[in-house]
Structure 1
């Protein structure tokens, strides 16, 4: 007989680092088998919206930028954190698409909510498919951003994943999900 999966009991939590972009929480927990841990660290982060923008001429709009955490220049889908005051993830998806690329869409479809790294992070990622994406303005980047807009034929996206050109986990997942969704229309 299988053991029933049960949640851990949180006995106490302390914020050990607090910054506007990131909090580190130390949880004191009791596991279902009775074992207690006094040093389970959790990254408390804001939720993210990520968009697969598809143009009328069947191109996907990606962004290419330096990511300091992995110290590499990566190709990924446009997206970012859901700001305070944004009541729906689609608001952040539209805002980030416009800011990072200058593109907009009047046909945004929610596809899925996923956990980013559920072992140690609290945040979720909301995936959107944006059909009829079209350029409406120049980029409006933060002073810390230097982003190149990359327009890729939709037929090349899967190959770019397989070859490792697209290797950011959320972008890989959303690309494959969006491609599957688009197959339904063919």
Structure 2
């Protein structure tokens, strides 16, 4: 399988959180596509923080793209000056007030590789503890819910957790925890 040849690219919309790029591409068979649009977005992190007594802080917040209140893992954009682990630590603290000394990268996923450029970096944080109150951005309203780690699969199966990168992170964390025993 061959990659497409990019003939020309042009940013048609730019904002600090989102850039829409139009690509003109040539397919391996020679055909050309002149209106392929790509969402250029910053990379993101997600964190499954596990307390010493087996609980995970989840966040419930309104997501305007789907116009629903969703239950998911804490996470967010990686700032330009940050490494993924630094962003994971910052997002966990800001959204939940939790900290952990031990972070492990579980993996990387692309949540929409057909149209988006970003990578999701998925972390597990072990022995998390509540250190402070949340430190939210002005447009954030987040409720923290502590859920037993062993109930996460049930929340996925009943549709309570339906955010793809949270599901991926939970799956990878379960593999790590259950295979480490």
TM bin, normalised by shorter chain, reads over 0.9
2:118 maps to: 123
* Alignment pair present for 1:142 and 2:137: yes
SS state of the match for residue 40, structure 1? Answer: strand
2:58 maps to: 62
2:19 maps to: 23
The runs of at least 4 aligned residues of structure 1 exceeding 2 Å deviation read none
Please report how far the alpha carbon of residue 163 of structure 1 lies from its aligned counterpart in structure 2 after TM superposition. Answer: 0.5
SS state of the match for residue 92, structure 2? Answer: helix
One of 163, 166, 170 as aligned partner of 1:175:
170
Q: Distance in 2 between matches of 1:41 and 1:56?
A: 45
TM-score, normalization by structure 2: 0.99
**What is the CA RMSD across the aligned residues, in angstroms?**
0.6
Please report how far the alpha carbon of residue 185 of structure 1 lies from its aligned counterpart in structure 2 after TM superposition. Answer: 2.5
Gaps (5+ residues) in structure 1? none
Q: Deviations over 1:118-148 (max 9, x none)?
A: 0000000001000011000100000000000
Q: Deviations over 1:140-159 (max 9, x none)?
A: 00000000001001111001
Count of aligned positions:
181
SS state of the match for residue 184, structure 1? Answer: helix
1:13 maps to: 9
* Alignment pair present for 1:94 and 2:105: no
Q: Deviations over 1:94-114 (max 9, x none)?
A: 000000000000010111011
Please report how far the alpha carbon of residue 177 of structure 1 lies from its aligned counterpart in structure 2 after TM superposition. Answer: 0.9
2:38 maps to: 42
1:53 maps to: 49
Q: Distance in 1 between matches of 2:180 and 2:34?
A: 51
Gaps (5+ residues) in structure 2? none
1:75 maps to: 71
Q: Distance in 2 between matches of 1:183 and 1:90?
A: 23
SS state of the match for residue 136, structure 2? Answer: coil
SS state of the match for residue 180, structure 2? Answer: coil
